[in-house]
Amino acid sequence: MLPANWADARLLITIPDEGDCERAAALLGPANPGRSGKLIRFFAARRGAGVGPEAVRRLLGRLDSEGVDGTLELVGTGEAEPAPEIALPTVAAEWDAALETLPSDWSDIYAEVELTSTDHLERAALLLSPLNPARYGGKPALRFRVARRFGYGASAGMARRCFERLDEAGIPGELHILRALSDSKPVGTQGPVWYVGGKAV
């Protein structure tokens, strides 16, 4: 029985009838076998040097079709190195990085979180509810506004907390800042108005 993460296998076939040994070694030729008396050794690998699993199956099938009896034994295996885990950036970390790219006097942001699946939309909308998120277009994304000091939109701190909630819930996404203003000073209003697709946001 091979382990799930096997990379290579060393195999041994014992041929009880010595008269069949030469024929068996010839049939196993593509595997470059080594023979010692009634023992035939060869090497299989999932990838790289050595014959692959399907090729081994075909070669053993040749022995069966030729009526060569023998016992197959797994002598040893090598295991593949586990793939390194790649830590994906969290939405909260993307938010921090996005803010670093803005001028120090930024005042208003129109942004979106693009999710990897529409399956997450309902849950994400609930977790982001303090941002008053809205759908726009056909992609699985939620758009929102953030105001730094005053005006329309959630605070930057509240936005980050909402993104932490997404991360804690295991909901992956990418954050994009779509528009940003610096040092806006609303007079008698709640702040600047952006028009997207003919609608105020």
d(CA 170, CA 95): 16
- Per residue in 137-157, pLDDT (tens digit) is 888 999 999 998 887 889 999
Burial string for 171-196 (b: 16+ CB within 10 Å, else e) reads bbbebebeebbeebeeeeeebbeeee
Res 8: pLDDT: 86
The average confidence (pLDDT) of the chain is: 87
Q: What is the CATH number of domain 6-79?
A: 3.30.70
The architecture that CATH gives domain 91-183 is 2-Layer Sandwich (3.30)
Q: Which of 80-84, 134-138, 170-174 has the lowest mean pLDDT?
A: 80-84
> Is-same-fold flag (6-79; 91-183)?
yes
For the whole prediction, is pTM greater than 0.85?
no
d(CA 96, CA 112): 14
Domain ranges of the chain: 6-79, 91-183
